[in-house]
Amino acid sequence: MTVTLRYFAWVRERIGRAEEQIDLPADITTVGELVQWLKARGPEYAHAFAKADVIRAAIDQTHVKPQAAIGGAREIAFFPPVTGG
Amino acid sequence: MTVTLRYFAWVRERIGRAEEQIDLPADITTVGELVQWLKARGPEYAHAFAKADVIRAAIDQTHVKPQAAIGGAREIAFFPPVTGG
Amino acid sequence: MSVSVQAAAFNIALEVRSLTAGRTDIGAVVTFTGIVRGEAKGHPITSMELEHYPGMTERELARVEALARGRWPLQGVRIIHRIGVLRPGEDIVLVVTLSSHRQAAFEAAEFLMDYLKTSAPFWKKETGADGVGMWVDAREADNKARERWESA
Amino acid sequence: MSVSVQAAAFNIALEVRSLTAGRTDIGAVVTFTGIVRGEAKGHPITSMELEHYPGMTERELARVEALARGRWPLQGVRIIHRIGVLRPGEDIVLVVTLSSHRQAAFEAAEFLMDYLKTSAPFWKKETGADGVGMWVDAREADNKARERWESA
């Protein structure tokens, strides 16, 4: 399954890109598993996700918890806690 | 002692005037006593102060309770509960 | 002078701008505007007249402002209360509070309105479609709203 | 559409007027404006950049607005959040709430700000006098402010 990953704020800066398409391995079923898989992709990912519990995620533009099932997600985003307003 | 009395809103309308000067009898020492004395002055005063506990008072432009001493007041005002804002 | 009693209308943006102009220490601005409604207790009203106690009004508003400033770290306060005859849809009152953080600005604005409603010497008279003017009764809810600050 | 994400500045008076024009059922209008401060943790900042997640931002703001409308009797809501580069003293965000009575307008405005601050996908980066940009950390106080609505 192909999924678009999007990164924002310092997650984006550390990874060095704003978005990318990935082929999701069949054994990755939750957001938390995806984070672990990404961390193994290279030092920039390891750096971005070093404190994985700080990073927030959204599936198809809705906030989700790490244990959320990826299901048929088209777009998964990772970002720091929000600071608008 | 001469004191200026001022009336506002429906207290003013019932009494039929916005202000007047009175010579304060020596035995009137509190706002509450002044109200009782005013009520005896005529039907328009009796009407205005019929529900004396509803009427608010101010001495020299500061809110006071009925038991407040009149002391050297120059201006005593009577009015309904405020409804601004 | 941050307290005004006036017949003229006000402009929220101009009032806020005059308080914030040239400053970079303000993080939060809260405004409250009270407006004449076209109905009172289910009956249409055509106008509202505001009577007040000149002199005492300004004193009370200044006193209430001082109470708020003693309670929250405010970088600015503005109170405007209109008097005279107003029509439905017209502004009655404006309260503006400025602070570094939003909680203080929100709380101070609520506090100012609760105190203003229960202590500033204004009285409203509403005129209905029949041309008869009726003095507005004080609301118990306003006393309750004020009391929460006294017990806090 | 009562939610806007835009680079352009806004005018509070015009926004309020567009919500109240021709209406006589509104008694209370509360506005909150968030402004860029010239200092962060004691250090001067020269600019702030706001990044956001286009699409999700509008969805979150609309969701938060719907939550507020479900909780208070509101006659209007407006949310504007600016993006891009802003300087100290410039407006960041505007929330406007309209109701018949002031308590609802105040509470809904506070609620909207608390939810906006903790769920709308915006991120602030502050640039100091040395030209170095620093991402702003989320404030625990904002999470606490939001939690009070969840237990209420």
State the average pLDDT over residues C65-78.
97
Mean per-residue pLDDT of chain B: 97
So what's the pLDDT on residue D42? Answer: 87
So what's the pLDDT on residue C42? Answer: 87
Q: Please state the domain count of chain C.
A: 1
Say yes or no to pLDDT of D14 above 60.
Answer: yes
Say yes or no to pLDDT of D78 above 60.
Answer: yes
So what's the pLDDT on residue B1? Answer: 85
Homologous superfamily of domain range A2-79: Beta-grasp domain (3.10.20.30)
So what's the pLDDT on residue B76? Answer: 98
Report chain C residues whose CB lies below 8 A from the CB of D106. 32, 106, 109-110
* Residue D22, domain CATH: 3.90.1170.40
Q: Answer yes or no: do A85 and D52 touch at CB < 8 A.
A: no
Neighbours of chain D (3+ CB pairs under 8 A): A, C
Cα-only R_g, chain C: 16
Neighbours of chain A (3+ CB pairs under 8 A): D
Residue range of the domain that includes C44: 3-151
Euclidean distance between the first and the last CA atom of chain D, given in angstroms as a whole number:
29
Say yes or no to pLDDT of D1 above 60.
Answer: no
Q: What is the pLDDT of residues B29-38, one digit of tens each?
A: 999 999 999 9
Nearest-Cα residue of chain B relative to residue C134: B10
Q: What is the 3-state secondary structure (H, E, C) of D18-35?
A: HHHCCCCCCCEEEEEEEE
Report chain D residues whose CB lies below 8 A from the CB of A61. 53, 55-56, 59
The answer to whether C122 and B82 have CB atoms below 8 angstroms apart is yes
Say yes or no to pLDDT of C67 above 80.
Answer: yes
Backbone phi, then psi, for D149, in 5-degree steps?
Answer: -75, -25
**CA D103 – CA D30 distance, rounded (Å):** 10
Both tokens of residue C85?
Answer: 């005859």
Say yes or no to pLDDT of D116 above 80.
Answer: yes
Q: Does C11 touch chain D (CB under 8 A)?
A: yes
- pTM, full prediction: 0.96
So what's the pLDDT on residue B56? Answer: 98
Q: Of D146, D128, D130, which is closest to residue D64 (Cα–Cα)?
A: D146
The percentage of chain B sitting over the pLDDT mark of 70, rounded to a whole number, equals: 100
Say yes or no to pLDDT of C152 above 80.
Answer: no
Say yes or no to pLDDT of D8 above 90.
Answer: yes
Mean per-residue pLDDT of chain C: 96
So what's the pLDDT on residue C1? Answer: 58
Q: What is the pLDDT of residues C9-53, one digit of tens each?
A: 999 999 999 999 999 999 999 999 999 999 988 899 999 999 999
Those residues of chain B that have pLDDT short of 50 are none
**CA D107 – CA C110 distance, rounded (Å):** 10
State the average pLDDT over residues A53-75.
96
Q: How far is B31 from chain C (nearest CA, A)?
A: 18
Mutate to test the interface with D, among C14, C25, C33 (most CBs of D within 10 A): C33
Q: Does D38 touch chain C (CB under 8 A)?
A: yes
Which amino acid, one-letter code, is at C3?
A: V
Q: How confident is the model at residue D151 (pLDDT cuts 50, 70, 90)?
A: confident
The percentage of chain D sitting over the pLDDT mark of 90, rounded to a whole number, equals: 95
**CA A60 – CA A70 distance, rounded (Å):** 10
State the average pLDDT over residues D31-44.
94
So what's the pLDDT on residue D152? Answer: 66
Q: Of C100, C90, C109, C122, which is closest to residue C149 (Cα–Cα)?
A: C109
The percentage of chain D sitting over the pLDDT mark of 70, rounded to a whole number, equals: 99
Of C60, C113, C135, the CB nearest to B10: C135
So what's the pLDDT on residue B82? Answer: 98
Which amino acid, one-letter code, is at B30?
A: T
Say yes or no to pLDDT of D114 above 80.
Answer: yes
So what's the pLDDT on residue C4? Answer: 97
Report chain A residues whose CB lies below 8 A from the CB of D141. none
Q: Residues 21 to 80 of A: which have CB under 8 A from any D CB? A: 58, 61-63, 77, 79-80
Mean per-residue pLDDT of chain D: 96
Of B10, B58, B84, the CB nearest to C116: B84
Q: Answer yes or no: do B84 and C81 touch at CB < 8 A.
A: yes
Residues contacting A51, CB < 8 A, separation 6+: none
Domain boundaries, chain A: 2-79
State the average pLDDT over residues D76-97.
98
